[in-house]
């Protein structure tokens, strides 16, 4: 056991932390074993008919021996997953103040529409003549995305935000190659999300960081324009920016930034993770952006699903449009058509980034959401998102330490100055917040401030919800300053599991169940 978990175990033992019930269950919190530990050979949760007798044609390569998959009945399976679900926090249950994640309500109409057989039961390789409505939906979504962003083209196939970034950088590289001007470097702010440099590297570029203006200076927290200009040169392919940035601030010098980038012959890529702050009010095209990926699972409410699936369409400027990945959905004389091969108008495409046509299930959900809100509703979304974040800012600014005082956009950044000399780390603070019934805010990101705490409420939180959250945060901050560090370090107490030993998990990874391993409940 690591030193940390030894210390924590001592504390828990001192609290009398052994389970008070016979079963180990605690009321509605029911322990649930692994499927593999509940196996009964031959049992199944489905009833299948006997196959008709045929001569097998498996080439003599029939699978030999047992696979090892457990057999359970339907009631057991339903109970298993129901119990598991009860150990999860979710938007349906409470606020997720996660910065740059936009954890807004997931409307159920989206789910109903995505499950219409006319969408869900369509095969991507059906003859196009049998799926005109699917292509129409894709074309309609494309129209909404282009209109909201002011951009002339959109690549719909990327499966997630990071995939969209890859798509955007690939089109940029293709455009530069076509110009005969291959370049080697991508500039990325220090505050950038980790996917940005990882994507740049995957695309064959080296990455250089641009600092932000220091706290207390003019334009604090935003990209240092002078430093950017100094790094721009004939060797820079693109700047990757997030706007509003990951400190929750609008890059007010963005027009100058765009001009400088373009003057250097480079492209301006924008990470659209924070589009929720400006949707319906500001169009990225008007900011000089050449490519922007949109996270449908952020701004457009498609569900996070415990980690996916996402969808990351990329809107593109005219110069980048010819390089968009396949397939394209274009509007022809007979309605919407699928372009699946390079050639003709698609002769310069970078090729495919994914199998088949893209995340159709997420397209249906996102368009349902967009149509529900409309132009006026979407504008209201951005306004309420920004209003909610600023409300939190002013209600918390004397209890927590705002990193960059002044107006923020849809998220507000704090640093750990308010925890100085308390012995409570941002991590401890977050774990205490869990006991209060909240998922913690984003922590330790962005890296530009010490002990960052980034809070994004979204527009689907009521004022009452925000007021409750404020009360809890103020209370916790007060307790931390009151010298209550031990209690923070032993949090959380009321969750299905206490703090878990991540060191042990990484030192000796156990990544699957094995029948011969003894799973002992006692600590080693």
Site for other proteins in 213-242 (CB under 8 A): none
Question: Is residue 127 at the binding interface for other proteins, with CB under 8 A as the rule?
Answer: yes
Position of tokens 């095969």? Answer: 123
Residues in the chain: 524
Q: How far is the CB of 94 from other proteins (least distance, A)?
A: 10
As a whole number of angstroms, the distance between CA 377 and CA 400 comes to 32
Stretch 391-410 residues interacting with other proteins (CB under 8 A): 391, 393-395, 407, 409
Range in contact with other proteins (rule: CB under 8 A) among 314-322, 374-382, 414-422, 471-479: 374-382
Question: Is residue 211 at the binding interface for other proteins, with CB under 8 A as the rule?
Answer: no
Question: Is residue 99 at the binding interface for other proteins, with CB under 8 A as the rule?
Answer: no
- 3-state DSSP assignment of residue 457: coil
Contact code string over 48-87 relative to other proteins, x by CB under 8 A: xx-xxxxxxxxxxxxxx-xxxxxxx-x--xx-xxx-xxxx
Range in contact with other proteins (rule: CB under 8 A) among 259-267, 347-355, 448-456, 472-480: 347-355
Which C-beta is closer to other proteins: that of 43 or that of 263? 43
Nearest CA to 170 out of 148, 150, 155, 189 is that of 155
Give 303's contacts (C-beta < 8 A, 6+ positions apart): 106, 110, 111, 297, 365
Which C-beta is closer to other proteins: that of 13 or that of 482? 13
Range in contact with other proteins (rule: CB under 8 A) among 229-237, 356-364, 413-421, 478-486: 356-364
H helices of 158-282, in order, are 161-179, 195-202, 225-231, 254-263
Cα 489 from chain centroid? 28
Q: Out of 14, 25, 26, 204, which residue is the one contacting other proteins (CB under 8 A)?
A: 204
Q: What is the 3-state secondary structure (H, E, C) of 353-400?
A: CCCCCCCHHHHHHHHHHHHHHHHHHHHHHHHHHHHHHHHHHHHHCCCC
Q: Out of 161, 168, 248, 451, which residue is the one contacting other proteins (CB under 8 A)?
A: 161
Q: How far is the CB of 487 from other proteins (least distance, A)?
A: 14
Nearest CA to 243 out of 223, 213, 217, 220 is that of 223
Q: Out of 332, 511, 516, 518, which residue is the one contacting other proteins (CB under 8 A)?
A: 511
Q: How far is the CB of 481 from other proteins (least distance, A)?
A: 21
Question: Is residue 25 at the binding interface for other proteins, with CB under 8 A as the rule?
Answer: no
Which C-beta is closer to other proteins: that of 460 or that of 482? 460
Question: Is residue 388 at the binding interface for other proteins, with CB under 8 A as the rule?
Answer: yes
Residue 415 backbone dihedrals phi, psi, to 5 degrees: -115, 180
Question: Is residue 270 at the binding interface for other proteins, with CB under 8 A as the rule?
Answer: no
Q: Cβ–Cβ contacts within 10 Å for residue 24, how many?
A: 12
As a whole number of angstroms, the distance between CA 59 and CA 374 comes to 57
Q: Out of 22, 347, 497, 518, which residue is the one contacting other proteins (CB under 8 A)?
A: 497
Stretch 439-458 residues interacting with other proteins (CB under 8 A): 439-440, 445
Stretch 287-316 residues interacting with other proteins (CB under 8 A): 287, 297, 303-311
Buried b (16+ CB within 10 A) or exposed e, 363-394: bbbbbbbbeebeeeebbbbbbbbbbbbbbbbe
Q: Applying CB under 8 A, what is the total number of residues that bind other proteins?
A: 222
Nearest CA to 2 out of 516, 515, 364, 506 is that of 506
Two structure tokens written together for 76? 């057991």
Which C-beta is closer to other proteins: that of 137 or that of 477? 137
Q: Out of 340, 423, 436, 481, which residue is the one contacting other proteins (CB under 8 A)?
A: 340
* Pair 202, 231: CB distance under 8 Å: no
H helices of 295-346, in order, are none
Which C-beta is closer to other proteins: that of 271 or that of 418? 271
Stretch 455-494 residues interacting with other proteins (CB under 8 A): 459-463, 465, 490, 492
Q: Out of 95, 96, 317, 432, which residue is the one contacting other proteins (CB under 8 A)?
A: 96
């Amino acid at each position: 056991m690591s030193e940390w978990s030894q210390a924590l175990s001592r504390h828990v033992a001192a609290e009398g932390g052994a389970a008070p019930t016979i079963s180990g269950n605690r009321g509605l919190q029911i322990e649930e074993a692994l499927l593999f530990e509940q196996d009964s050979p031959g049992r199944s949760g489905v009833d299948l008919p006997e196959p008709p007798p045929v001569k097998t044609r498996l080439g003599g390569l029939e699978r030999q021996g047992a696979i090892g998959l457990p057999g359970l009945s339907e009631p057991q399976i339903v109970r298993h997953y129901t119990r598991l679900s009860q150990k999860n926090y979710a938007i349906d249950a409470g606020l997720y103040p996660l910065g740059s994640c936009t954890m807004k309500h997931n409307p159920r109409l989206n789910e109903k529409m995505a499950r219409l057989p006319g969408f869900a039961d369509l095969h991507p390789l059906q003859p196009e003549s049998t799926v005109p409505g699917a292509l129409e939906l894709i074309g309609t979504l494309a129209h909404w995305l282009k209109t909201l962003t002011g951009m002339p083209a959109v690549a719909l196939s990327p499966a997630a935000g990071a995939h969209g970034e890859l798509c955007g950088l690939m089109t940029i590289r293709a455009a530069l190659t076509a110009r005969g001007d291959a370049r080697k470097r991508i500039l990325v702010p220090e505050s950038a999300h980790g996917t940005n440099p990882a994507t740049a590297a995957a695309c064959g570029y080296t990455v250089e960081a641009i600092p932000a203006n220091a706290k207390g200076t003019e334009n604090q927290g935003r990209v240092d324009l002078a430093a950017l200009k100094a790094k721009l040169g004939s060797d820079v392919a693109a700047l990757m920016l997030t706007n509003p940035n990951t400190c929750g601030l609008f890059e007010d010098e963005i027009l100058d930034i765009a001009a400088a980038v373009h003057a250097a012959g480079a492209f301006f890529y924008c990470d659209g993770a924070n589009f929720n702050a400006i949707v319906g009010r500001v169009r990225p095209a008007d900011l000089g952006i050449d490519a922007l990926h949109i996270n449908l699972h952020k701004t457009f409410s498609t569900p996070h699903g415990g980690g996916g699936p996402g969808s990351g369409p990329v809107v593109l400027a005219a110069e980048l449009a010819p390089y968009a990945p396949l397939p394209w959905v274009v509007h022809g004389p007979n309605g919407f058509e699928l372009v699946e091969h390079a050639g003709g108008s698609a002769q310069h495409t970078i090729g495919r980034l994914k199998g088949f046509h893209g995340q159709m299930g997420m397209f249906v959900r996102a368009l349902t959401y967009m149509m529900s809100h409309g132009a006026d509703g979407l504008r209201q979304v951005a306004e309420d998102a920004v209003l909610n974040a600023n409300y939190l800012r002013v209600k918390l600014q004397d209890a927590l330490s705002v990193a960059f005082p002044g107006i923020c956009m849809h998220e507000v950044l704090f640093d750990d100055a308010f925890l100085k000399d308390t012995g409570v780390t941002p991590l401890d603070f977050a774990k205490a917040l869990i006991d209060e019934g909240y998922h913690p805010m984003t922590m330790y990101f962005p890296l530009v401030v010490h002990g960052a705490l980034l809070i994004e409420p979204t527009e689907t939180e009521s004022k009452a919800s925000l007021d409750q959250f404020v009360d809890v945060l103020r209370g916790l901050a007060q307790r931390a300053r009151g010298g209550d560090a031990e209690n923070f370090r032993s949090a959380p107490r009321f969750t299905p599991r206490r703090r878990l030993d991540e060191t042990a998990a990484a030192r000796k990874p156990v990544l699957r169940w094995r029948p011969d391993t003894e799973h002992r409940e006692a600590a080693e």
